[in-house]
Amino acid sequence: MMGRIAFVGAGPGAADLLTLRAARLLQQADVVLHDALTSSELRPLAPQARWIDVGKRGFRASTPQHVICALLARLGHEHGLVVRLKGGDPGVFGRLDEELQAVREAGLEFEIVPGISAALAAAAHTARPLTRRGRGRSVALCTAVTRDGRVRGGRSCDTEVYYMAGRRLGALARELQAAGWAGDTPVSVVSRAGCDDALHSDHALAELGRAALLHAGRPSVVVVGVGAEPVAAACAANPQPGAAAVAR
């Protein structure tokens, strides 16, 4: 039997942020391999499927990547449709490249369904667009911790978004300042973005470490630079022609 694999983005948490295409594939799935942060509210969409937890969480026991790849290859040959349900978007820090390689080597068909990444959910939650006309022309999506466990921060864009900063916010702040960001650079931290219990806090970069307690144990994204500024402040810094006349 030759099946297919659907790599599906589950979004940042809330079940109703799932796309219609993703919901349709879940309804058709025989097996669902799901990440740790995917919502349990999605299960009624695939009551007939076998759900297998292959989640990864920092500082906790996780499913090794080679095991996930082997499961995809084996289950893809045993079932008609296997959904690989990934938190956020499959192509943003989801190890999609490794799993695609395994599926291709197994000779299986596949498709990829995009999802809402945590960076976009955080921007929506705080009403702070990641790009701003005339000021915020570039955005970088970064991991805060490298594969060997080191904290890394840089400065390459007007706005930088850091995933998986976890308990290392103080170290990240030091790295970012060393890379050239000023200590008073605005920073926005959102944990569990896209969920009903999302939390948001604002900081100057030099004081980012203070956010660690508030967001402890919660998956967080850290927005640095122009995209972290409240819209009112951003508009004041970049007034549009005729704005004063309109205000009057």
Catalytic residue numbers? 35, 56, 164
| HSE toward the beta carbon, residue 19, CA cutoff 13 A | 17
DSSP tally for the chain: helices H, then strands E? 8, 10
Nearest to 84 by CA among 93, 94, 217, 198: 94
Beta strand pairing status for 4-9 and 81-86?
Answer: parallel
Backbone angles phi, psi at 88, to 5 degrees: 65, -130
Beta strand pairing status for 199-204 and 186-191?
Answer: antiparallel
Q: Please, are residues 219 and 11 in contact by the beta-carbon 8 Å criterion?
A: no
Backbone angles phi, psi at 24, to 5 degrees: -65, -40
Cα separation, 103 vs 125, whole angstroms: 35
> Which H, E and C letters describe 49-75, residue by residue?
CEEEECCCCCCCCCCCHHHHHHHHHHH
